[in-house]
Amino acid sequence: MTGVIEGFYGQPWTQAERFELFDWMAAWGLNTYLYAPKDDLKHRVIWRELYTEAEAEALGEVIRGCHQRKLRFIYALGPGLDIRYRQASDRQRLKMRGEQMLALGCRNFALLFDDIPGQLDGADIARWGSLAAAQSQVANELFQWTRARNPDAHFLFCPTPYCGRMAEHHHGGADYLSILGRELSPEIDIFWTGPEIISAEIGVAHLRDLRALIRRKPVIWDNLHANDYDGRRFYCGPYAGRPLELKAEVNGLLCNPNNEFCLNYTPLRTLARYVAATEIWDPRQAYLDAMQEWFAKFTVVGGPLALEDLILLGDCFYLPQENGPQAEALYRLIRELLATAPAQWRSRAGDFQLLAGRLRAFCGRLAELTHRPLFYALSRRVWELREELDLLENYVAFKAAPDHAHRPFHSDFHLPGAYRGGLVPGLQRLLKPLADGSFVPSSTSPEI
């Protein structure tokens, strides 16, 4: 199984976006789409309620769209927020949803128990003894029910501790994964995100250790390009941090990407190239090739844009734990300028002004995009980037002026409250993150 999960928190994709995704997948050799948008209310919050006729018809269109392109459609249900594991009525509700989806042409299912309270109530503890055992019982029952109706059905399961850190902290209870490996039917695949929820790297040794616990190869639910946890960023860097040898250690590789569909071209294109690669995997080259393809979407009303500028912008929104090389060079350059006296700058101030000005101008030109959904997805992020670059450019020019030491630096366009204002930025400044992942109070507590 290789492909895409629509599994983020936020507004689900439109039908048109899904069909465009299916065209990409079919052309690129990906084969699986998993329907699991967290904010489809009937996927998670009110999972006991059946879809209305209109809702069911829309899902039927998605299923048919997959089948027409020879893609595997998997429907996921997330009942974990309030399921009563011991109640036959709740297990029957799961089967009623299954019946509705089977009638629409769905043949493959997933049961998700992620992001839920990691404990049972007293009555369920008395019956099963552990959350893993209770969930396994429910999943096994639904799996057998599904297989009786479709012997070829794929069935997947997302555990409550779905990454290494959660398991180490005993989320879901002690020995959750080993109990799950023992109790869950061996024919059911298990999702895993790696050492972390958003894993910069997933190694072969990590997966082999996991396999010993869960008694099967996992299916990777990869959040490398997910951005639902940080609306200020998106990620268009390459599929990276996963060696080619990883593919032999998993039963599937599915990407849960950016909320904004039109920002996912490079992440998914490089995923497909990773899947197809056999001997050599160069993430940076795959990124450059994919950005050249994506550049065709960047037609504007005025004169043409430059591919090099799109790559520079992409480097600014690369991966969660990594800037692209040009963005990293820009950041190091301005840090050096701020840390040294202007007399020591030599050509570095000009280098920064040139690079920052080029990037800021490109961000401004994006307002001319004829692909308006693409512009709207980018607009708030590039606006913020432009504001910071403008402030830094003006500060560098100010410091270079002969009389700067006799007056403070001000900007008429970056005023207190209106710029970097609000409660959330103020809260973010109160605790300072350290390199080891710990937090300490900031030396000063600035005003909001």
Q: Which residues are catalytic?
A: 115
DSSP string, 374-407: HHHHHHHHHHHHHHHHHHHHHHHHHHHSTTGGGS
Q: Which two tokens stand for residue 14?
A: 């439109």
Asked if 192 and 220 touch (Cβ cutoff 8 Å), the reply is: yes
Beta strand 108-112 pairing with 72-77: parallel
Residue with tokens 């493959």: 108
Beta strand 439-441 pairing with 431-433: antiparallel
CA quadruple 358, 359, 361, 362: dihedral sign? positive
Instruction: Name every residue whose Cβ is closer than 8 Å to that of residue 424 and which is 6 or more positions away in sequence.
Output: none
- Within 10 angstroms of residue 252's Cβ, the number of other Cβ atoms is 22
* Distance in angstroms (rounded) separating the CA atoms of residues 414 and 390: 10
- Give bridge partners of residue 369 from the DSSP assignment: 300
* Distance in angstroms (rounded) separating the CA atoms of residues 7 and 269: 18
Instruction: Name every residue whose Cβ is closer than 8 Å to that of residue 135 and which is 6 or more positions away in sequence.
Output: 80, 85, 113, 157, 159, 160, 180
> Nearest-CA neighbor of 246 among 270, 217, 225, 287?
217
Angle between helices 325-339 and 307-316 (to 10 degrees): 70
> Nearest-CA neighbor of 389 among 333, 314, 308?
333
For residue 289, count CB atoms less than 10 angstroms from its CB and return exposed for 0-12, middle for 13-18, buried for 19 or more.
middle
Q: Which two tokens stand for residue 397?
A: 């020019």
